[in-house]
Structure 1
């Protein structure tokens, strides 16, 4: 009976979702009919509804804006098999890749050095863009997951840049096109681009502004897996633009035939040219068929074919989707984007109520549902030290959530400080490849870890070895890092825990490979030392200030003593202020996440004290923003990206006690009486 009741509730929910979907589609089509608009298919209605989360009024407004944009820019009538549009398409300046990013979003690339404003009009260039986007958007997977737009300025000159055209493309994609614009990545922007870019940013809404990133080629890995990028951008693919155009041609021809048969003026035909995302455990080291049918589901987030819609007339391309994941993958709901949805990426959100430990997200969150400070206090009292240690043992007993293939390569083994502390493949930081014949030059023992509402907020790494000093500073430079947190001393108990990778004395200057580091000032506090560094790129030019904070009273395999976490919490606050001030000094030079580039955090192995620091920082931010805490969930998610983070039970216990102390300091609790916490508290048998 219980099983029957559960199934009935599930079926009822499915039916209600389906009815809601049908009502929204009918309302959208009715609204168009009442306004005297041309007849469109249900498939088109679904696209606009998905783009506005099935809000009929807003979807209708988007459709009107979309139609106005097409009329204004001359995007209604295409002649893709005749010049000038035929030649424009064949330049390959704009193309859709046969891969997706980690969230399933389609990837569009505009190569600036192939564009010559004096040789083509805005109308023809926009037609070339929209013609291909229309085909890409015929995939329901693309409708659902959105679009990443890469503007590649590598080797481009001022004569290749068209400010007005760039503004038109950006405005069209965000306000007049039925697709979720996940992000815009401007790659290798030259110096002359900075001024017009600052002006352009003033004319876009703040939320869209936050989706626009200027990055160098190595930093693209922060946003799109290298396995999904073309070789021209440091990736692994050699896209066949001619094959893509042939597919576009087939879809366009089929569309015209359907229009004649159905009497429906509609530019869309459903297509599966770009394969859907297929998250799997382990590295996908071969090209697998990702075009198999999926079981139909009745919600607004899945593939649908409504009776009366045009059939799926475009055959899937043989091109394959070749990137994958490591770790424990769980299915997620991916919201349809709009101008109010600042979900830059949906890879492993840490948002409230969502648990996705193997993934990461630029707009991450804080973990599961969390608990209020008073509830955490009651639970800590009930469990005691012994109970929390048992909870940690349960977490530690779980096997790693990924593989370590790159860390185990013979040429990389010597770069690891400890043979048993390796970095996951799926979240490792990729350096630029310095030797074209040696792909392992991209390796460093470091992993990205998500923060509170920020994907890749941290880089967790080991204490640098003398042989990896230059790799460490290369990573800091390429990732745009402004703040380094060090939670170890160089030597502890007579053992070297970390190499002296920066100059100690004020005014001292040391060269590490292609980078020079100069110490500009040193501040000695009771529990930590702050060093202000200047990092310079000797090979390509440029310099940047880096704040280095070293906490000096944190024992290895242990926790800060003294009976209070206040010194650590003060250091944590100082670190956050340093990041905010450094970001403020950059002004418009930084166009990424509002909380800035990744903070590099390390101890000796980069797992114990490093994981503890991250847990405190993430939980403290979430408490301030939401009034709740989720220590266990946070630890689990950190460990999913940096294996074995939080190394000892005492560190797990310390996180709970420190956060309770923080809650008292911030006024969330009047006090945190833990009398008897260290006593055995086994339940008495009755």
Structure 2
């Protein structure tokens, strides 16, 4: 049944449709249906400006994530839907909100792509949003982590789901209920939630199964979550198929649509079938008694035809000048190139905290430093990566050596820049000028030029280049902050002999494993490198931190601080053994640091080391300035917001441990604080 709108609301919907259809016209898409426009408007309380922002975000994400044209009757989407990992319950909470459930234990990142999982979600959400009650009351998202393991958790997918639901889908997200979260999830989540807008943060609850009934009655919960409801997921999927077959452009993106509405509907590919009148966002048997669906459908169709006819008349009146203006506007929405040059961090004047005086540090200052505006981070980080991926360009108008055809196979990731001005060069082979390339950059330390070399995890084809760099730069310590395999995905090649008392040859270099010291969170391997042409030997310490999750932060700041101290001790010991043979900086040659891409965990470790040295020398912390400096030498160093926050928390813990601070209130960082709506 179509929503009954006030005259003011109806006028707002017309204004919204006019602007949206101008944009859709540029992409040869048909006019936006009236009922679809109402969904976006209702999700933002009929605020035209906010509804337009929601629509643009919705179209951008559906295009970017491949949520445009898919067939729920074919694999891999069919198999994904059959798992039941994501479903919409045939019940509601006491406010009328729809209830959707994601079961983490059924998700296996190594066999399911983000695209397939997201397709399965939006396919079902689009059907649920047919319900006027869902449009009015929103939805509750339950993330069930019962019996889930770390192998079931996909950080990047979780962020994509949250970004979609909180700001890119035309339904109000009332609550996010994270049930039975393990300890390995709770600790980093306490930091991650700082990057969620305050209004949404109050809606996120981490709770146990027994607390779930405080938000949703047991009769509305499935048996798996302590309720009494029996879920028939197959019946729900059958309803979805029937409902989606009768869509005509509903929630479609800006991509060009075919002339026949029966071939692609809501981005879902179907063959023409007989029209059905199922319209509620729950299973068919949940329609209200006595509800005349045929009559409702005819009334709704009449309203749609009326408004669509008006829209088509307005399309004819669009002038060439208007087309040009709309084209410029559409280009702005898809990629604002000016954003690519804006500093990543939101605070224009981030305060520098003086730790020499305990009274100088307050919780408000901590929040000013760490609380990045989430929407700003998301916009700049997302658009930078998307723009680079689509156009193959850098943030600066020039081509870099990493894009030379001969160098492309040497890059682990095509969108991880290696700036020319700070890149490490190795000796050319056989007079080939292109053979001096390795994806590595010098990073300046605290009052030490080229204190670090930030590089990617070596590929098998670059092993010899890596060891040539180690040899020529006289490196004493290699810091590795990743495992070779994580979540069944290769992150770095095994570029050194793994077993004790074994040797491997890498080009002109023979590397011998001279012994391994195993610690709880890291491993230290003593390596001896021999240059086959000269017979000279050198010792290098390989220090691998094994407790650092990809795209995340260590669970313990104390452990990574301990590891950092161990790295500095090892560098000092190795330097001392050189004696008078070393004539460079007093802290020794560059320390090589790498993870997989050489930007996230690598940037975090280097930021901590530089900040600790500054703290010890001056009693001050300037993490923002440090990261900006590092990023000017190695693009995108520190990838995730929680890594940036982790640097602040780790430095505060370091200061407390060294007696530079008497106490500091971190109440705001405690994930167990009570949350209320």
Q: TM over 0.5: same fold?
A: no
**TM class, shorter-length:** 0.3 to 0.5
TM-score, length of structure 1 as denominator length = 0.43
TM-score, length of structure 2 as denominator length = 0.44
Larger Rg: 2
Q: Where is the helix percentage greater, Structure 1 or Structure 2?
A: 2
